[in-house]
Chains A and B, each alone.
Chain A
Amino acid sequence: MTDTESRLTIIEDGPISSVRFLDQNILEENSIQKIGAEISQLIDQASNPKLLIDFQNVEHLSSAALGTLISINNRIKEKGGQLRLVNINPQIYEVFAITKLDKLFKIYEDSEKACASFS
């Protein structure tokens, strides 16, 4: 995989943009920056961004990846948008719980419940 390839699958469904990671491990600084830039572009394009991030493939992530998610959340809030995280496996969820980021993010079991929660 080259640095120019996308690390994400993006599906636009009406007002909701769904993003799924292609990598199982979201660890390397370069990949994290690229993911952050791609998602920021999506946020910038929407006036009231509704973003769903799907962690189905993710087995490992670093604090740098958490930092990027926080920046994404901050950006979305600035634009009056909404962010939902879904399909987080128990080991990864524990990372969110330990860092108390489970209080910051709205996390749902699956896409259906997350989509239904958008107002």
Chain B
Amino acid sequence: MKQVTIASRASQARKAHDALMPEVAAAGYSGDSQFAIRLALDEALANAMFHGNGGDPAKRVLVEYEINDELVYIKIQDEGHGFNPKTIPDPTLEENLCKPNGRGIMLMKAYMSEVSFDDLGRCVTLIKNRNCKRPVASHPTQQD
């Protein structure tokens, strides 16, 4: 398993991108899969850095990953107090649509094959199978 450690600063997310995303592309994952993986990675990193570690640059985020022909596996660990992901309200409910926060976890789940939390919420594991069809193509029609 490869790993990269970053400080809890927004600019540090790029270090994780630069380590992972070229490998994902080189492994032949589709453009849509690359988009999905990057999106989920960004959301998980933001959660770890700003919610988990509270934006404290002294606290680290450990990213472990493996990229192979079958799947992309990413495990992100922070040093915060943890949280219960079940307490996050559904952001797609009518009454929550105008709230600016709370969409990160649902986006990870929508785009990845598997998302799981461990260590009281301090660790999230993201898996994208090569044959993953998520998100279900909706091909929505824009207003015109």
Contacts and interface: CB of A to CB of B under 8 A. Distances in A.
B100 A67 contact: yes
Nearest to A67: B100
Contacts of B91: 99
A112 B11 CA distance: 36
Given A27-B13, A67-B101, A71-B100, A98 B107 contact: yes
Interface string A76-115: 0000000000001011011101111111101111000100
B140 A99 contact: no
B116 interface: no
A27 B21 CA distance: 15
B69 interface: no
A57 interface: no
B10 A74 contact: no
Given A63-B104, A99-B92, A109-B144, A30 B10 contact: yes
Interface in B97-114: 97-101, 103-104, 106-107, 110
| Interface class of chain A by DSSP | helix
Interface string B126-140: 000000000101111
A60 B92 contact: no
Given A63-B104, A66-B103, A93-B140, A74 B92 contact: no
24 contacts: A27-B42, A30-B11, A60-B35, A60-B42, A62-B42, A62-B104, A63-B104, A66-B103, A67-B101, A67-B103, A70-B99, A70-B100, A74-B98, A90-B139, A93-B140, A98-B106, A98-B110, A98-B135, A99-B107, A101-B97, A103-B97, A107-B142, A108-B142, A113-B143
Interface of B: 10-11, 13, 32, 35, 38-39, 42-43, 46, 50, 91-92, 97-101, 103-104, 106-107, 110, 135, 137-140, 142-144
Q: Which 4 A-B pairs have the closest CB atoms?
A: A67-B100, A63-B103, A29-B10, A100-B92
Interface of A: 27-30, 60, 62-64, 66-68, 70-71, 73-74, 88, 90-91, 93-95, 97-104, 106-109, 113, 117
